[in-house]
Structure 1
Amino acid sequence: MATTPPPQNGRYYTQSDPAMEKYQAAWASLRSNSYVNNPSLSEDDRIYLHGIQGTYKVKLASRTGWVHGFQMMLIWDYDRIWGAFDLGTFKGILMVDHGPQREPPEFWDDEAELPSFDFTWRGTCTQMPDAVFNNPLITKGKITFGSRNISGHFEGMATDATCKFEGEAQFGPRRVGRSLQSFIDEWNEYEFFGEDETIRQPPAGETVDSTADAQAGTPSVKEDEDSSTESEGSEDTAEESDLFDDEQLRLYLTGVFDISSEDIKAELPDKAQHVALRMHADLEGNQVWGWFDMGICEGYLLLDVPADGLRKGRPLQFTYRGREAETGMTVRGTGELEVESTNAWRVKGFFRGMYGDAVRFSGKRKLMPSGISGRDLWWYQDGWADYGEHLNRWRR
């Protein structure tokens, strides 16, 4: 029986780990998809559309207890969605010819039903191993896409006139362990006489900006206004003399920080021992990401200033997304981070809107190699997108 290779760098997987290779193709096709990365979409719309692609644990209404014992993978193909399902007796591929265009208005109404989308499916049945199920008039169904959940039904399965299902996304980053092309190839294998499907291409003239590809589903970063107003001459020379220190700052800000919060310790001492902070400077994408656990709230942050605008001793504004530890309710807010000008290893700052007027913190970077945060870039980006959900973490 095959086993998953252990992480190469300690406890956590990075994109370079052999175990992560199977997810690369799906990540790449999502980032290059101009439909879900359309710049005219709002950030919430992009988060919603990106969140559809992933692997889901599925349960069937026909099975006693409704146990999540089955699986379905969904992947975008421009505006089309493919799904690979394994329901025990039936296995195959489904195709939604045109998926959602944006987050539905009903998404915010707990009482309203989300819109459903028609699909057709092809596959096989273990009870009839020599048969292929493929008839668009019969092998069809409907599916609904929620924030972390899917639901719907299959028609045309011999064992059930209508096979109802519900699914929930696997915990963690949304991953699909096979390429888009493999979904289409399997679909084509179930067709003996018709034309083969191919990867759907965007309309002529529609392209995705390369920067948007790399940062799909993430907000744009504000330009450092100070850098655009610097005068020429002696001030430029002074700025260049400090360039080495600022370059080092980008490397040393990436890391794990042992922090503490006197505000949490004073008000909620039982939570104070759980505070932590990770930072990660993406030099290629020119963004600085972070992850935090303040005991009362856990989530991700993104600096407003680009990576090449980092300066010691200058307050750096950030936006954060998280969830309350006790209730799982979504929390959004802003804050401030400062690297002490006399010591690049120490940071201090505060979160607004988390508890009271502000939750202050301070701490020191752990002794570890520069440029290492213990997580890869995608972990922060996917975490940021995942915390973009407007739903209670504990809802089902």
Structure 2
Amino acid sequence: MDPKTLNKLKQARSRRKASKRPNTNRTRTRDHKWGLVLKKADGTGGGSSLPAGAADEPPIIPSFPLEGRRLDVHQLAARTRSQNSWLKDYEYDLSQLKSVQRTWQIQLTSFPDIGFAFRIYLLWDYDRLWGVFNLGHTEGAMLIDPGFRLSSADDDPQQLSFTWRGVRVNDPGTSIHDPSIAKGKIWMNPCHQKLVGYFDHIAGNGMAGGDRCHFRGKPVFGPPVVPYSLDDVLTDWDEYGPPGEVADIRQDLPMDELEAELRRRDRKHPRSAVPSFQRGTTTVTCFSSSS
């Protein structure tokens, strides 16, 4: 995305937020040296095909600083989580729901010998989850809407659908943001402290443009923290997407706008309380296997 378009996008988003309520929590944390600093792109958004022979390449192992060293970086994400009114309604199960927001270390199923060398960062935004991911060859942002729900079947992992936007690190000028192909599923249960899932349109080695990339994850040891703010992730999501598109932080919306957005979401994506587990490499046994 060119600088002029990017500035217009940021100004439009700032005007929308200012017209609703002041956001005293807005602080740029994206340029710190934690994890991944997302690359901006102005591509077509279509299905960028996998280069010849790319599926046979080994994964790129990202370099991450030691987690937990700069606690000030995590404060904004922790603050928006504590201000989330939807989470507060689940007081009895609040700790389980809050634990979903954290840094997850990820293993690519096709390359188990590499270990948990990759990352997904999840943040609550009312009843949905935003994320940042780094799979080595591909990096970007993801949206899980709706997010995790507690149910009477506490031992059953829930199936969550998501869409993603991002770029290949060797082609940062072309973004991928077509929701018909850039999507995936996660199975999660905070009780087990594990998740499994897959990205569509990403090869098993983490290269965007492939068929499907299966993964499994577990929390990074330590407190459930995330080195990004909601504002960081939504800004990156907008910059990867079509020009002029502006996403809002859901929990900052006025009540009438929030209710209208939830109605639109639920009409478009109706869901049962606990969807059935799917067959294939992503099975419930992944939750009971050793880390």
TM-score (norm 1): 0.44
Is 1:145 aligned to residue 180 of structure 2?
Answer: no
- Residue equivalent to 2:96: 48
- Residue equivalent to 2:140: 92
With over 3 angstroms needed to count, the CA separation of the structure-2 counterparts of 1:194 and 1:144, relative to structure 1, is: farther
Cα deviation code 1:52-91 (max 9, x no counterpart)? 0000110101224251010110000111100100000000
Give the structure, 1 or 2, with the largest relative contact order (CA under 8 Å, sep 6 or more).
2
- Residue equivalent to 1:104: 151
Contact 1:120/1:140, CA 8 A, preserved across alignment: yes
| TM-aligned CA deviation for residue 395 of structure 1 | 5.8
Identity %: 31
Judging by fraction of residues, say which structure has more helix.
Answer: 2
With over 3 angstroms needed to count, the CA separation of the structure-2 counterparts of 1:182 and 1:48, relative to structure 1, is: same
- Residue equivalent to 2:201: 156
- Residue equivalent to 1:124: 167
The 5 A counterparts of 1:260-275 are none
Q: Specify the SS of the correspondent of 1:22.
A: helix
Q: Specify the SS of the correspondent of 1:197.
A: coil
Q: Greater CA radius of gyration, 1 or 2?
A: 1
| TM-aligned CA deviation for residue 18 of structure 1 | 8.8
| TM-aligned CA deviation for residue 183 of structure 1 | 0.5
- Residue equivalent to 1:81: 129
Q: Distance in 2 between matches of 1:22 and 1:42?
A: 26
2:239 to 167, 177, 189: 189
Q: Give the letter for the 2:154 counterpart.
A: F
Is 1:67 aligned to residue 118 of structure 2?
Answer: no
Contact 1:151/1:165, CA 8 A, preserved across alignment: yes
Q: Distance in 1 between matches of 2:289 and 2:110?
A: 25
Q: Give the letter for the 2:151 counterpart.
A: P
RMSD in angstroms over aligned alpha carbons?
Answer: 2.9
| TM-aligned CA deviation for residue 159 of structure 1 | 5.0
Length, aligned pairs only: 190
The 5 A counterparts of 1:181-220 are 181-201=231-251, 204=255
- Residue equivalent to 1:250: none
The 5 A counterparts of 1:1-396 are 19-38=70-89, 41-43=90-92, 45-65=93-113, 67-101=115-149, 103-108=150-155, 112=156, 114-147=157-190, 148-157=193-202, 158=208, 160-201=210-251, 204=255, 396=291
Q: Specify the SS of the correspondent of 1:175.
A: coil
Judging by fraction of residues, say which structure has more strand.
Answer: 1
| TM-aligned CA deviation for residue 47 of structure 1 | 1.8
Contact 1:119/1:142, CA 8 A, preserved across alignment: yes
Q: Distance in 2 between matches of 1:18 and 1:120?
A: 31
Contact 1:122/1:190, CA 8 A, preserved across alignment: yes
Which blocks of at least 5 consecutive residues in structure 2 are unaligned?
Answer: 1-31, 35-67, 203-207, 257-286
Q: Distance in 1 between matches of 2:125 and 2:108?
A: 26
Cα deviation code 1:354-391 (max 9, x no counterpart)? xxxxxxxxxxxxxxxxxxxxxxxxxxxxxxxxxxxxxx
